[in-house]
Amino acid sequence: MTRVSLLSSPFLLGFERLEGMLERAARSADDGYPPYNIEQTSETSWRIVLAVAGFLPEHLSVTVEDNQLVVAGAQPDDKTRTFVHRGIATRQFQRRYVLADGIEVVHAGVENGLLTVDLTRPKSQQVIRKIDIVAKP
């Protein structure tokens, strides 16, 4: 069976990578842990806030891999504690967010059980470049 792509128009050249990123984002959107918010803080800035109660900063990582923001958390097992009831989830997680070209992570921090990751897209200059047309002899 032939797969039809939304980006298969002959006028969209070089977007194969974008299609792959969209597919990865759709696959990773299924898990609901940890809960998160995404806010637009200005015209060119965003903030991702994840609820990471119980995680210390050293148990968390924020990386950018191939235009994807990867936020992960893992806690070591504490064998010294015995729980009668454990209702606060502290399982391992990994969340991936696909970033457009030019988006930069400017800050990540933990406060009151919330991990915040600030993103920005620097304003780009519009570049118009004239291409010389060369006649072949």
Q: Which domains does the chain have, with CATH numbers?
A: 33-120 (2.60.40.790)
pLDDT confidence of 14, banded at 50, 70, 90? confident
pLDDT confidence of 3, banded at 50, 70, 90? low
Give CA–CA dist 36/34, Å, rounded. Answer: 6
pLDDT of residue 120: 96
Residues 99/68, Cβ–Cβ less than 8 Å: yes
124-137 pLDDT per residue, tens: 778 899 989 999 87
Where would I find the beta strands (DSSP E) of the chain?
Answer: 36-42, 45-51, 60-65, 68-73, 93-98, 104-111, 114-120
CB-neighbour burial class of residue 54 (10 A; exposed 0-12, middle 13-18, buried 19+)? exposed
> Residues 95-119: what's their mean pLDDT?
94
Mean pLDDT value across the chain: 85
User: Can you tell me whether residue 56 is helix, strand or coil?
Assistant: coil
With a CB cutoff of 8 Å and minimum separation 6, the contacts of 88 are 53, 54
